[in-house]
Amino acid sequence: MKMLPKMNKVELETKLSKGQYVLFFTADWCPDCRFIKPAMPEIEANFKQYDFIQVDRDENIDLCQELMIMGIPSFVVYKDGKEVSRFVNKDRKTKEEVTSFLSAAK
Protein backbone atom coordinates (compact mmCIF):
# COMPACT_ATOMS: atom_id res chain seq x y z
CA MET A 1 0.00 0.00 0.00
CA LYS A 2 1.33 3.42 -0.95
CA MET A 3 1.73 6.17 1.63
CA LEU A 4 0.21 9.56 0.91
CA PRO A 5 2.68 12.44 1.24
CA LYS A 6 1.60 15.56 3.09
CA MET A 7 -0.97 17.48 1.03
CA ASN A 8 -4.19 19.47 1.20
CA LYS A 9 -7.66 18.59 -0.10
CA VAL A 10 -7.22 20.33 -3.48
CA GLU A 11 -3.91 18.51 -4.06
CA LEU A 12 -5.53 15.22 -3.01
CA GLU A 13 -8.47 15.60 -5.38
CA THR A 14 -6.05 16.42 -8.22
CA LYS A 15 -3.93 13.35 -7.39
CA LEU A 16 -7.04 11.14 -7.33
CA SER A 17 -8.66 12.73 -10.41
CA LYS A 18 -8.57 9.53 -12.50
CA GLY A 19 -9.31 6.09 -11.09
CA GLN A 20 -10.73 4.47 -7.98
CA TYR A 21 -9.05 4.78 -4.61
CA VAL A 22 -9.49 3.76 -1.00
CA LEU A 23 -7.86 6.06 1.54
CA PHE A 24 -6.96 4.28 4.76
CA PHE A 25 -6.53 6.85 7.56
CA THR A 26 -4.34 5.55 10.36
CA ALA A 27 -1.61 6.39 12.88
CA ASP A 28 1.20 4.35 14.41
CA TRP A 29 0.01 4.99 17.97
CA CYS A 30 -3.59 3.91 17.29
CA PRO A 31 -4.44 0.44 18.75
CA ASP A 32 -7.56 0.06 16.59
CA CYS A 33 -5.46 0.84 13.50
CA ARG A 34 -2.95 -1.84 14.50
CA PHE A 35 -5.91 -4.24 14.89
CA ILE A 36 -7.04 -3.86 11.23
CA LYS A 37 -3.59 -3.52 9.58
CA PRO A 38 -2.88 -7.29 9.38
CA ALA A 39 -6.11 -7.76 7.38
CA MET A 40 -5.34 -4.99 4.89
CA PRO A 41 -3.28 -7.07 2.39
CA GLU A 42 -6.17 -9.54 2.03
CA ILE A 43 -8.72 -6.72 1.75
CA GLU A 44 -6.58 -5.09 -0.95
CA ALA A 45 -6.33 -8.41 -2.81
CA ASN A 46 -10.12 -8.79 -2.76
CA PHE A 47 -10.75 -5.27 -4.11
CA LYS A 48 -8.27 -4.99 -6.98
CA GLN A 49 -10.42 -2.34 -8.69
CA TYR A 50 -9.13 0.14 -6.08
CA ASP A 51 -5.71 1.62 -5.46
CA PHE A 52 -5.25 1.69 -1.69
CA ILE A 53 -3.42 4.63 -0.15
CA GLN A 54 -2.47 4.86 3.50
CA VAL A 55 -2.82 8.31 5.07
CA ASP A 56 -0.87 8.99 8.26
CA ARG A 57 -3.24 11.07 10.35
CA ASP A 58 -0.44 12.85 12.19
CA GLU A 59 1.45 13.71 8.99
CA ASN A 60 -1.76 14.93 7.30
CA ILE A 61 -3.62 16.46 10.25
CA ASP A 62 -4.76 19.49 8.20
CA LEU A 63 -6.06 17.24 5.41
CA CYS A 64 -7.93 15.14 7.96
CA GLN A 65 -9.58 18.29 9.31
CA GLU A 66 -10.51 19.42 5.78
CA LEU A 67 -12.06 15.99 5.11
CA MET A 68 -13.76 15.80 8.52
CA ILE A 69 -11.91 12.59 9.46
CA MET A 70 -12.67 12.65 13.18
CA GLY A 71 -11.71 9.11 14.08
CA ILE A 72 -9.26 6.44 12.98
CA PRO A 73 -9.00 3.97 11.47
CA SER A 74 -11.23 5.33 8.73
CA PHE A 75 -11.78 4.55 5.06
CA VAL A 76 -12.85 6.91 2.26
CA VAL A 77 -13.55 5.84 -1.32
CA TYR A 78 -12.81 8.21 -4.21
CA LYS A 79 -13.74 7.76 -7.85
CA ASP A 80 -12.35 10.16 -10.43
CA GLY A 81 -11.46 12.79 -7.86
CA LYS A 82 -14.75 12.77 -5.94
CA GLU A 83 -15.56 11.17 -2.62
CA VAL A 84 -18.28 8.56 -3.11
CA SER A 85 -18.39 6.73 0.22
CA ARG A 86 -16.90 6.85 3.70
CA PHE A 87 -16.57 4.61 6.74
CA VAL A 88 -15.47 7.19 9.29
CA ASN A 89 -15.87 6.90 13.03
CA LYS A 90 -13.69 6.28 16.04
CA ASP A 91 -14.67 2.62 16.48
CA ARG A 92 -12.51 -0.43 15.92
CA LYS A 93 -13.22 -1.91 12.50
CA THR A 94 -13.14 -5.59 11.65
CA LYS A 95 -12.11 -7.16 8.35
CA GLU A 96 -15.75 -8.11 7.79
CA GLU A 97 -16.97 -4.54 8.35
CA VAL A 98 -14.40 -3.08 5.96
CA THR A 99 -15.17 -5.74 3.35
CA SER A 100 -18.89 -5.05 3.67
CA PHE A 101 -18.32 -1.30 3.35
CA LEU A 102 -16.17 -1.69 0.22
CA SER A 103 -18.65 -4.13 -1.33
CA ALA A 104 -21.44 -1.57 -0.91
CA ALA A 105 -19.40 1.45 -2.11
CA LYS A 106 -20.80 2.76 -5.38
Catalytic residues: 30, 33
Alpha helices in the chain (DSSP H): 9-15, 31-36, 40-46, 61-66, 95-104
Whole-number Å distance between alpha carbons of 85 and 3: 20
DSSP label at residue 46: H
